Structure 1
């Protein structure tokens, strides 16, 4: 009998049986199912399986988080189900069967924006900080702003615009590159296309309103003239051009012989696309974007702005579930390009906070439920910092009533800040830090909105549970016999105390150390696998982060399990999504059962090969048995050397 045979049999039954599975695979932490009928998956029963740490649905895949032992679990699942796995990419392709036309379009849009979101977040932080420097009068400075009072900060303000301009004015370059990457076409051609939309030769898009029509420069072809107008910060023109280039390249690859394709495919793809971008796609995209901005501005400026605020604030969270919130990101960016501000993003930030407050109420109501707290506490923190998926999928949608409470609180706050015309100068910074991106004159009203979403969802969640509103799964005053609350089954303390040991953690590589919360994979950053840290390596050498024994090596070589001398199970995960590379960039120096120390070289990873495949090289160290070590105190971040002590954990 396999180690996880019983759990695997239960999971097979609860996902709807063998006939309901179109494809199944796994990565380093998750089982990934493509289900013929996703509604047959019984999430409540799956959540009760001891080895399951959580679940969520993404891009048509039903993903069940198992943890470090997922290869063992997968083998047992294959044995009891008779289903062999497919590659991760094949799983993604199979998952498309669960997506409609609109969902597929939204999925593509999400994959286009995902790689550039970190830059957008940085840009939002910079614009918000510059907003504080140049827009907030300081009474101690006689009413002057910081840049008016200090030459140093005036210099910082000017310097930071170098980065802000690169991110937002030249955003089309990032969009066209990301589309090329998503479509599997030549990425450098995408970059070149983006540059042709924002070239210094062109009239800056922001200068159009200040120049008479007959003064706009143009290319004269004799029989026709084309205006030399740039599309700085424009989203829709860049997307139209990017997809045209991708499909042109795909078409010409099919019809041009491979022996001459390197010359003619780029030429016949890029030149017509650049011409079409300036003659047709750019003007059409600009007109579409302007109309979207006008419609939103009209709604917010009308006498029914309060209703618009209620609707958007209330239903933004359900949009996240469907994935349609990525369309809203496009509108936000378009508003910033046209108006220099957006009124939608402040409501997004408040919706994030509302979801966190609802989970906080669940933590209060279920205090003492240690298993749930492993999900709910990190989810609350992440929602307050702007990432709501763990809160929504892990807690609020499970019980429903806290999700509705959050929606109501967000709708009330959305109504208030819309009526008060709260504006943001940038996007990307959600949750509580979102106040940084709010214009100076709007900060007080935004803080009132923050108070609403901190208080209202918390109170409503408690009231909904008390009075049984939308609550069928969470009865009041029923003791939790497995994880008793303080009110029930109190046991007198004994003189025997559990000995607490201290485990030291060491840098697994030379590079930049960061908290696991800053890793871009949500399974790690939301601590679904447990607490930990990551190192962005400077070279190929990877060392053990603890003293212990190698307990598990994944077939794809990208992840190694180590059991420390104190009994902590540590996952060393080299790169993000590198399971798809089938072990090619990794050369392991150890075998299962080997003793290791922080000076033991356990692997070499080909950093350039990983980057060239479009993956990130972060080396993640995660503590997977959270019952023994729920938290690591990271004592050093930034530049580190391998084998350097960077943190400790209490082991129970």
Structure 2
């Protein structure tokens, strides 16, 4: 089985099985699962699945951050659950908060599936500009015409793509939504003058590249669809339902909903222009600083229509996307800095891979896997993004295509219809470099300083390795009481030696009657439990020779017990040695997993957040 299958199996187990899944889809980095009952979801189990960077639980959807491999996980997950179309969610009481989530979910579910089209069109436009600017591509050549056709089709037929996606999101036949979109952009209707329907004058509206008119039309189509399902006999529904639906929806959209959507779009554009005009470069800085928080809450999805409307109407976006450029690369740079300062191998690997994808423009793995758990990294990112975003606003940076901003999207800052690259591209590069440097430097040096202050503190604030062998995460221990952290935070060792040495300097507070456990209280007041083996209490102390007594004072590295590993294994018990902090308000930071030398610093004891 593939690793994607293993991830899917782990998620399905934690989600409560396929009976708790109503629907599943995915975006660029997240698996999005609509669930029946959130009480059946074990978020802790899913968060520990190898390959899961983070999770977000909402009233109507559970989002699992995978990264750019999410498509492969989605395919495996879909195979496991099969057809779940008949499952329904238990009714929830309506609230205004729920309404906001529904709106954002509708926008996200509609726009996310078409982003691939817009990204492809935008990058083809960038390739076209590079060809003209650097390789002398003639604007009259067939090559130019074909590439330009790909770009133009991506935006010109936007109502068709949105109609399909919105109808699918509303559980209608998506082809009917596409049909409505195609009707709006048809040559005799789009921008037509003097058009009338049954004596009513049809307003002249340009629907190609528009956004809101088709969304209103599809929402109205949903109402008609529900009504037709109730009144149309099954025997004639196949041909009467689509016929009557289109005969009603198209005129209503052209006469009222389309013009209303156009006016709403105009108001939104004017509002953005007002904000940008009144706040100036500060508005772009705020967008940059707040973007990581918007991604955490999922409300960044609501910005897609604004970006699309801006690019469609004036050919570029100078507000949202430039701010996101500063934010995205700042997120990635901060994660890379974390990868260089953390001592835990798993966190180092996660931060490295998430950092690379972050500076390329995909930030969810870094935000949910690294920043959300690291205040220094998050605040450094927001500060760097705010400063760099303000700079982008000050120099009026423009992005000419809808692509998640990052290194990979730099060509979309080229506008080369004049045959040469203007200063906008170089300003984008400067903004990117500025954000990366500020974010990386702040995260790296502040983290280093904090870690150094911990490392240089009294030695009894550290926990040291008490026995030779490989240090593993507490979550990997084959005992739920310890692996779930019910006793406390800590680590474990797969031992290759008999000698057990004190991991702190302090006093022996407890020796178990069965000799399998020793309690210590460090001179700084930290309470530590050393548990020798799993279920070894059943051996009545035979494998253990305790070298200390309750009340004895020991120094770090003093021999406190001898453990007969061979005897433990012969009795078919697990000899894993477990070291935990038994106080619930204490946790172990910067764990050096993989260490195998007695006396190595495994982590620092700090107060839990």
TM bracket, shorter-chain basis: 0.5 to 0.7
Q: 1:164 aligns with which of 130, 146, 151?
A: 151
Q: 2:438 aligns with which of 456, 478, 482?
A: 456
Once the two structures are TM-superposed, the CA of residue 269 in structure 1 deviates from its matched residue by 1.2
Distance in 1 (CA, whole Å) between partners of 2:173 and 2:188 is 25
Question: Against the structure 1 CA distance between its residues 86 and 291, is the aligned structure 2 distance closer, same or farther, given a 3 Å change threshold?
Answer: same
1:423 is aligned to 398
1:23–1:86: 8 Å Cα contact kept in structure 2? Answer: no
The equivalences for 1:316-327 within 5 A come to: 316-327=291-302
Deviation track 1:148-186 (CA, whole Å, cap 9, x = no partner) reads x44388543332111111110110000001112122212
Question: Against the structure 1 CA distance between its residues 240 and 460, is the aligned structure 2 distance closer, same or farther, given a 3 Å change threshold?
Answer: same
1:25–1:86: 8 Å Cα contact kept in structure 2? Answer: no
Distance in 2 (CA, whole Å) between partners of 1:309 and 1:31 is 30
Distance in 1 (CA, whole Å) between partners of 2:392 and 2:83 is 47
1:313 is aligned to 288
1:271 is aligned to 247
2:165 is aligned to 178
The equivalences for 1:239-254 within 5 A come to: 239-254=215-230
Once the two structures are TM-superposed, the CA of residue 392 in structure 1 deviates from its matched residue by 0.7
1:199 is aligned to 186
Secondary structure, counterpart of 1:217 in structure 2? coil
2:162–2:215: 8 Å Cα contact kept in structure 1? Answer: yes
2:288–2:385: 8 Å Cα contact kept in structure 1? Answer: yes
Once the two structures are TM-superposed, the CA of residue 483 in structure 1 deviates from its matched residue by 6.9
The equivalences for 1:291-306 within 5 A come to: 291-302=267-278, 304-306=279-281
Secondary structure, counterpart of 2:402 in structure 1? coil
Secondary structure, counterpart of 1:195 in structure 2? helix
RMSD over aligned Cα atoms? 4.2
1:424–1:437: 8 Å Cα contact kept in structure 2? Answer: yes
2:335–2:366: 8 Å Cα contact kept in structure 1? Answer: yes
TM-score, length basis structure 2: 0.61
1:217 is aligned to 193
Once the two structures are TM-superposed, the CA of residue 350 in structure 1 deviates from its matched residue by 2.7
2:55 is aligned to 56
1:124–1:429: 8 Å Cα contact kept in structure 2? Answer: no
Once the two structures are TM-superposed, the CA of residue 281 in structure 1 deviates from its matched residue by 1.1
Distance in 2 (CA, whole Å) between partners of 1:27 and 1:197 is 30
Q: 1:395 aligns with which of 353, 370, 394?
A: 370
The equivalences for 1:56-455 within 5 A come to: 56-57=55-56, 60-61=61-62, 63=64, 93=89, 100-134=98-132, 136=133, 149-151=136-138, 154-204=141-191, 217-221=193-197, 223-302=199-278, 304-343=279-318, 344-366=320-342, 369-438=344-413, 439=415, 440-455=422-437
TM-score, length basis structure 1: 0.57
Once the two structures are TM-superposed, the CA of residue 93 in structure 1 deviates from its matched residue by 3.6
The equivalences for 1:436-515 within 5 A come to: 436-438=411-413, 439=415, 440-466=422-448, 468=450
Q: Tell me which moved more, 317-326 or 25-34.
A: 25-34
Question: Against the structure 1 CA distance between its residues 223 and 445, is the aligned structure 2 distance closer, same or farther, given a 3 Å change threshold?
Answer: same
2:280–2:393: 8 Å Cα contact kept in structure 1? Answer: yes
1:115–1:178: 8 Å Cα contact kept in structure 2? Answer: yes
Secondary structure, counterpart of 1:103 in structure 2? helix
1:177–1:190: 8 Å Cα contact kept in structure 2? Answer: yes
1:24–1:34: 8 Å Cα contact kept in structure 2? Answer: yes
Question: Against the structure 1 CA distance between its residues 317 and 338, is the aligned structure 2 distance closer, same or farther, given a 3 Å change threshold?
Answer: same
1:346–1:434: 8 Å Cα contact kept in structure 2? Answer: no
Once the two structures are TM-superposed, the CA of residue 88 in structure 1 deviates from its matched residue by 5.8
1:203–1:217: 8 Å Cα contact kept in structure 2? Answer: no
Deviation track 1:202-241 (CA, whole Å, cap 9, x = no partner) reads 355xxxxxxxxxxx62224574322454301001111111
Once the two structures are TM-superposed, the CA of residue 349 in structure 1 deviates from its matched residue by 2.7
Distance in 2 (CA, whole Å) between partners of 1:374 and 1:191 is 43
* Runs of 5+ consecutive residues of structure 1 not aligned to the other structure: 1-10, 75-84, 139-145, 205-215, 485-626, 628-652
1:429–1:437: 8 Å Cα contact kept in structure 2? Answer: no
Once the two structures are TM-superposed, the CA of residue 280 in structure 1 deviates from its matched residue by 0.8
Question: Against the structure 1 CA distance between its residues 219 and 26, is the aligned structure 2 distance closer, same or farther, given a 3 Å change threshold?
Answer: closer
1:501 is aligned to none
Aligned length, in residue pairs:
426
* Runs of 5+ consecutive residues of structure 2 not aligned to the other structure: 1-10, 416-421, 457-461, 473-593, 595-609
Question: Against the structure 1 CA distance between its residues 24 and 372, is the aligned structure 2 distance closer, same or farther, given a 3 Å change threshold?
Answer: farther
Question: Against the structure 1 CA distance between its residues 409 and 94, is the aligned structure 2 distance closer, same or farther, given a 3 Å change threshold?
Answer: farther
Deviation track 1:103-124 (CA, whole Å, cap 9, x = no partner) reads 1221122111122111111011
Q: Which has the larger radius of gyration?
A: 2
Distance in 2 (CA, whole Å) between partners of 1:56 and 1:325 is 16
Question: Against the structure 1 CA distance between its residues 383 and 180, is the aligned structure 2 distance closer, same or farther, given a 3 Å change threshold?
Answer: same
Distance in 2 (CA, whole Å) between partners of 1:388 and 1:319 is 12
